[in-house]
Amino acid sequence: MAKAKRPVKTENERRTVTVEAAADADAEEAAAELTGEPTPGDADAQALPAPDLDAELKEAREEAAAHLDDLLRARAEMENLRKRSEREVENAHKYGLERLMSELLPIKDSIELGLNAADDAEVDAEKLREGLELTLKLFNTATGKFGLEEVNPEGQSFDPEYHQAMSTQEVAGKEPGTVITVVQKGYLLNDRLLRPAMVIVAA
């Protein structure tokens, strides 16, 4: 036997079915609201856990307290560093010359010994000279440790950066601008001019 063909729905009939289904869904949702029964959308919303505001507030307060503690610690460390730096600067001002003084004390002792020897009526001039030379050597050694360097430019060309001309003289056999006499030696301290050499220059 031939199968019976299903009647084909027209476009208007399809639209009618769709509208009726939507109307039925709206009617079910409205009925659920009136009766208090949950709809499928409400069930999904109820499945989400509610945020724990108290726990979040507690966590935020703990984080804020930790940040505040870190800030206070940093401030305390900065204050301790500032005080320590001030003490170090103060000590540097007080005791910065301690090493230099320790080096100069033997020189003072040598000078005092020389003066005591000079009071002796039978003092040997040669021994007194040797003592003075020894004292000068001690001085040069002590100051050399701190970067003091002597500027003694006799026979050299005049250098206005390190020499100060007191006068000029014509000297046979000397080129103009040559230092012929050092009246007072100059000194450098760690390569920086401490005092220029006072000189007489050939004209």
Q: Are 199 and 158 in contact (CB under 8 A)?
A: yes
DSSP code, position 203 = -
pLDDT at 42: 52
pTM: 0.56
Number of CB atoms found within 10 A of residue 179's CB: 21
Q: Which amino acid is at 117?
A: A
Q: What is the pLDDT of residue 126?
A: 87
pLDDT along the chain (203 residues), means of 10: 50 53 56 53 57 86 92 93 91 83 92 85 83 92 94 96 96 93 96 96 95
pLDDT, position 136: 93
Residue 69 to residue 63: CA distance in whole angstroms: 10
Show contacts of 58-66: CB within 8 Å, 24+ apart.
Answer: none
Q: For a pLDDT cut of 90, what percent of the chain falls above it? A: 52
Q: pLDDT digits over 138-183, tens only?
A: 999 999 999 999 999 999 999 999 999 999 999 999 999 999 999 9
d(CA 102, CA 141): 13
